[in-house]
Amino acid sequence: MSIKKDKYFIGLANTLARNSLGYTGPNPSVGTVIVKNDNVISFGITGRSGRPHSEVIALNKLSNKNKKNSTIYISLEPCAHYGKTPPCVNEIISSKPKRVVYSINDPDLRTSGKSFKILKSKKVKVTKNLLKNSSKLIYKNYFYSKKNNKPYIYGKLAISKDFYSKDKKNFYITNNHSLMTTHILRSKVNCILTSSKTINEDNPKLNCRIEGLSDSSPKVAILDKNLKIKRNSFIVKNAKNNKTFLFYNKIDHKKVKFLKSKKVILIHTPLYYNNLDFEFLLKRLSIYEISSILVEAGKTLITSLLSKNLINEFYLFVSDKKLKNRGSSQLKHIKISLSKKFKNNNFNETFLDKDNLIHYY
């Protein structure tokens, strides 16, 4: 098959992977397209929660006859290790394909470069690194997480047109379009990170409340150095329904016992310059297979993480309203700070009716 056709079908596999980004954690979103006689005969996308893998989904749709002598296009190198499922490379070999084409190597050391050698040893023709630059964009979060052994972090903040993050009279600053967009952002990460201060002041739900996405609510992680979180907060009362982590340092046996009874996962955390050690927190969340985090918090935590260069991307929702005397928690220089922090001032602007969403990356 010509390189032009190979790129076309790899492009289809990459599109499948891109369309499911954020919904396959802890595994990466992978697209598979199976072709025979220049026709697509099957396809697959990684399942919710990372299983089944896309290669298995695509192959299981076909008879042994159709699998044989086909060409399998995959957006990412097929896995070569035993985990909760057998290696996809074994499934591929048993289907007796003519060729395997994949876009980019998997950085996971259990697989990286191994599938190529295994397939070649079984006399399967292999082509790799097609549309590699496109795949790098698809998997940048996954690559970052694997390389650094910690989650990729998104920041999110809503402000008024005159740069206030709180309205003294109304709970929400932005319009309904912005609120729904926030729910979509939540659905595409493994975990929301916030502080006990935000929990105590706002009593947020931090879940997805859009029809069709309610089963995509992320886990919740809370910074609470001195165990100040309110016992009757929504997050605490619903911890049994959604995995909730609380990072603390102060010893309060009574409060710890209560929170444990509510199924909160408590993690005693060392201090770093009198604050909870954030790197420790990230490493611990990584152990729980959390690879992406959305920070939803107030001025203090957001500005601290930005100043320490700990946020990889940022979503700034700007309302069309000026709060004036109704506003509190001023963030006058937030746009300047974000522009300085993100290389080459990369950003996209999206208008959500009269609100403006600025995505810094």
Question: Which residues are annotated as catalytic?
Answer: 55
| Share in percent of the chain as helix, strand, coil (round to 5) | 35, 25, 40
Cis peptide bond upstream of 86, omega within 30: no
The CA-atom distances, in angstroms, between 33 and each of 15, 36, 82, 207 are 10, 10, 23, 33
Q: Identify whether the C-beta of residue 275 lies closer than 8 Å to the C-beta of residue 225.
A: yes
* Number of residues that this document lists for the chain: 361
Torsion 227-229-235-241 (CA) sign: positive
3-state class (DSSP) for residue 197: helix
Q: Identify whether the C-beta of residue 323 lies closer than 8 Å to the C-beta of residue 277.
A: no
> Assign residue 324 a region: left if phi > 0, alpha if psi is -120 to 50, beta otherwise?
left
